[in-house]
Amino acid sequence: MSMVIGAETIAKLETQPRGKIIAYWTVTLLLTAAVMLSGIGQLMQYGGNIELVKNLGYPLYVLTILGIWKVLGAVALVVPGFPRLKEWVHAGIFFLMTGAALSHAFANDYGDYGFALILPLSYAALNFASWALRPKSRKL
């Protein structure tokens, strides 16, 4: 009987609170949608992406590179398994978004009310929240 009680205790310790799981999936799906839509927009060169890249001084082929990596990263975040890949995706999104904010800052392209800095930094914060809330099955 003590083994059954011990197994139940271990099972309860390994499960996460329902609120944390809901928070994780809410944040992760918002992040995934933002990254996926951004990547598709860059691949299609839609929504002012060409002007944005030119204003920052980057070549146009950067849109294709970033678009492909964003779409692949968004898919990797929601596919079950592959915890190491998810770690790399979170790191990549963090570097991508902070790099975008710094690119805008160095090019003196702050946008209206600093939107060009605030948006990528908010995505970086969303990414950090998704990483911090991830369940044990998605950790290394």
Judge contact between 133 and 27, C-beta under 8 A.
yes
Residue 4 lies in a domain: no
Cα separation, 22 vs 18, in Å, equals: 6
Considering the chain, what percentage of its residues have pLDDT values greater than 90?
Answer: 73
For residue 38, the model assigns a pLDDT of: 95
Domain of 88, in residue numbers: 17-138
Cα separation, 66 vs 38, in Å, equals: 9
The arithmetic mean of pLDDT across residues 132-136, rounded, is 90
5: confidence class by pLDDT, cuts 50, 70, 90? low
Total domain count for the chain? 1
**Other Cβ atoms within 10 Å of 22 Cβ, number:** 11
Cα separation, 101 vs 49, in Å, equals: 15
